[in-house]
Amino acid sequence: MADKPIAAIDYLAKAEKYPPPAVCALFGDETFLRRQAILALRGAVLGGGDGDFSLTTFEGRGTQLRDVLDELSTVAMFGGRRRLVVVEGADDFVSRWRAELEDYVSRPGRNGVLVLDLKTMAANTRLYKMIAAEGLLIDCRPPAPARLTKWLIDRASRRHDFQLSPAAADALTEIVGPELGLLDQELAKLALLVGEDRKIAPETIERNVGGWRARTTWEMLDAALDGKVAEAMLQLDRLLCSGEQPIGILAQISASLRRFAAATRLVLQAEAGRKRANLRAALEQAGVRPFVLQKAERQLRLLGRRRGAKLHRWLLKADLDLKGESAMPPRLILERLILRISAPQAKAP
């Protein structure tokens, strides 16, 4: 077995290379990846047909270790396969039975496969290191942007049978946000729109993905960058009243704003080296799609280098505040960000 976790997107791409050992653990806050990894483990251990009779699922909170171990030691009902025991939401379970689980990992039973489904798992714990060395440890945290683009391209090809270019993948992420479950749903919808060439262009994504909430988010961002603060606040109100989560709104607009921040940094670096700065070239290098370059160039000029250089810090602050570092209501956190990025007539704090 490996001595370190395997990224979930790597595991799912070649699950057959990783036959399930006696103990597996999944950790990370990307629910879609955890669900897909459990399904892959389930298929590998139980197969199809009557195999599901050999599956037992526990809820981590309140579950007793002896009940889990009893299930693991029970002989599978059909087909001579091993039993599969999944402990969902296992963070509390692992905290309560850590020492005993360490003992089990060192001497696991032969009849079953234990899967611990966790949101977090500290890398400095003995249990983490033991499972990484003796079992299978799957990292289900969200992939980095570059890996997310590759995952989308591979997923479109393998699962949905069409070609997605990097530009189209970036467009899809920018509209939907970095949530893999929602992205996969949109890929399934896009598969119904492909023509004989089996390709999807960025323009097709712009026209068909996301519904009114996604459009409202981009209208809000455009209004803010154009200095139309009242309009941006109205769109924000529509999104929040419709049930959109503040952290989701931030995730959707962050991709565009990070590109503006990267372009600003490239311009400042060129000027520091006494080179002529080309704003459009900087935006292209930062990953802005060709068909929105003209609008992006105008918006970045309105934003200005001073505020462009602060974007990364503002986005990080908003993200941390929405995740609990601030007692400020989420609406006010987003409103503050809108004011900061608005054109010069709205003074940035």
Each domain of the chain, given as residue ranges in start order, spans 6-139, 145-209, 212-341
Provide the percentage of residues in the chain whose pLDDT is more than 90: 50
CATH of 212-341, one of 1.20.272.10, 1.10.40.50, 3.30.470.30, 2.40.10.10: 1.20.272.10
Per-residue pLDDT, 209: 74
pLDDT at 345: 44
- The CA distances from residue 243 to 15, 210, 255, 315, 321, in Å, are 37, 15, 21, 22, 19
Q: How far is CA 178 from the centre of its chain?
A: 5
Q: What pLDDT band is residue 48 in, cutting at 50, 70 and 90?
A: low
Query: How many angstroms separate the CA atoms of 120 and 26, rounded?
Result: 9
Give the pLDDT score at 153.
Answer: 94
> Residue 93: its pLDDT value, please?
96
SS3 for 140? coil
3-state SS, one letter per residue, for 26-65? EECCCHHHHHHHHHHHHHHHHCCHHHHHHEEEEECCCCCH
Q: How far apart are CA 271 and CA 265, in angstroms?
A: 10
Average the pLDDT over each of 63-67, 211-215, 292-296, 318-322 and give the range with the smallest value.
Answer: 211-215
The answer to whether residue 303 scores a pLDDT higher than 50 is yes
CATH architecture of structural domain 145-209:
Orthogonal Bundle (1.10)
d(CA 240, CA 252): 14
Mean pLDDT of 233-246: 87
* CATH number of the structural domain 6-139: 3.40.50.300
Whether pLDDT at 192 is above 90: no
The mean pLDDT of the chain is: 87
pLDDT tens readout for residues 213-231: 666 787 899 999 998 999 9
Q: Does pLDDT of 288 surpass 70?
A: yes
Checking if the pLDDT of 178 tops 80, the result is no
Q: CA geometry: angle at 18 spanning 14 and 19, to 5°?
A: 125
Exposure string for 209-239, b = 16+ CB within 10 A, e = fewer: bbeeebebbbbbbbbbbbbbbeebbebbebb
pLDDT band at 346 (very low <50, low <70, confident <90, very high): very low
Check residue 76 and give its pLDDT: 66
pLDDT at 100 over 90: yes
3-state secondary structure of 82: coil
- What's the pLDDT score for residue 46? 87
pLDDT of 336 reads: 95
Give yes or no for a contact between 34 and 8, defined as CB atoms under 8 angstroms apart: yes
CA distance 54 to 20: 15
Q: How far is CA 73 from CA 59, 112, 137, in A?
A: 19, 7, 22
Which is higher by pLDDT, 244 or 342? Answer: 342
Q: pLDDT tens for residues 243-274? A: 888 888 898 888 889 999 999 999 999 888 88
Taking 90 as the threshold, does the pLDDT of residue 314 lie above it?
yes
For residue 18, pLDDT over 70 is answered with yes
- Look-up of token digits 């995952």: 151
